[in-house]
Structure 1
Amino acid sequence: MTTLTQRHAHRGFYAIAAAALVAASLTTAFGATPDPGAANPKPIVPVRSVASSAASHQALATQWLAFWNGDLDLAKTIVAPDFALHATLLDGRPDTEISGPAGLAGWVAQSHGLFGDLRFTVQVGPIIDGDFAVLRWVAVGRYRGGIPGAYAPVGTPLRFTGTDILRIEGGKVKDYWLNADTGDLLMQLKVGQGPATQAAPAR
């Protein structure tokens, strides 16, 4: 009686061990059973999709530079219809007055009207981070006149720098944050410095 009971006990133990081994093998092969109470895992983004998006943003940043260098027709291609500017404008207007492709193209055209031979080159970047592209640029040109309070002679060479932060949505620039070294530019333009004082004639 005792021997028969021990045999049944051993068989039960082996059956439990075999079931545990099968369960472990299935878990390894197919993954653990999801816990309904656990937080939803983040979707896996294919590496190829991330690389493709980064390359697309890089290409857009190149077009952005060409746009600022005078290819104004690119606005229709690279600027979103609901584009928004976030910047301090030299003429004191609110940045909300410049919106959409036409508004931005008009602002760029105005910049070229004030500064002849205006040319932008990239110093750093573009740096791509998700839906954002960042460029550090330097611009050179010559003052053409027309800025109120500026006493620099027409033809004065200028060099100024800045950083563009672009938020890209649907393959186009949706938001644009501009951080330019405006103080340096105003000094070169002699804004508020007044004309040179002439010596009073001797009596």
Structure 2
Amino acid sequence: MRQQDLVTRQAPTDTRDPEGPQALYQRWINELWAGETIARELVSDDFVGHWPTRDIHGPDELQAIVDDTRSQLRELMFVIDVGPFVDGDLVAARWISTGSNKRGPARFTGNDILRVADGRIVEYWTGTSPG
């Protein structure tokens, strides 16, 4: 059996398989940040997100941050620019987002680092800047 066949048969969030955390990150960007209410599916109950100005805890606070961000920016879209890369239990990627607000078009770039355990995101660090 080819290695590729083995990989596709494993659970998509199996942290022993680099494609598991990569698939989890794809859902993080392409589903959660696209507005789907799936924080409880992606992160653990003891999740901690480290934003530059504060920490948030648990899936409910995470979903609230996502929902609040999406309410402030119309037509918010994210594209993964680099990665995701997996090293052990860590996933890293760079993204670009675009949208608009009352002042006009908005563009942000960011770098994410996520720690994954048991198929869920347990910790998150982000660095985001306009541009």
Q: Which secondary structure does the structure 1 equivalent of 2:18 belong to?
A: helix
Rounded Cα–Cα distance in structure 2 between residues aligned with 1:126 and 1:88: 21
Give unpaired runs (5+ residues) of structure 2: 1-6
State the Cα distance separating 1:51 from its structure 2 match.
Answer: 9.1
> In the alignment, is residue 162 of structure 1 matched against residue 110 of structure 2?
yes
Identity of aligned residues (%): 34
Counterparts of 1:1-203 in structure 2, within 5 Å, are 53-65=17-29, 66-72=31-37, 74-89=38-53, 94-95=54-55, 98-143=56-101, 154=102, 156-181=104-129, 184=130
Structure that is richer in helix per residue: 1
Cα RMSD for the two superposed structures: 2.0
Q: Which secondary structure does the structure 2 equivalent of 1:111 belong to?
A: helix
TM-score (norm 1): 0.55
Rounded Cα–Cα distance in structure 2 between residues aligned with 1:51 and 1:142: 36
TM-score (norm 2): 0.83
Rounded Cα–Cα distance in structure 2 between residues aligned with 1:113 and 1:101: 18
Deviation by residue 1:104-156 (Cα, 9 ceiling, x = unmatched): 0000000001111111110000011110111100000011xxxxxxxxxx151
Q: Mark the CA change 1:116 to 1:166 in structure 2 (over 3 Å): closer, same or farther.
A: same
Aligned residues: 119
Rounded Cα–Cα distance in structure 2 between residues aligned with 1:176 and 1:116: 25
Q: Is the Cα contact below 8 Å between 2:15 and 2:89 reproduced in 1?
A: no
Give unpaired runs (5+ residues) of structure 1: 1-47, 144-153, 186-203
Bigger-Rg structure (1/2): 1
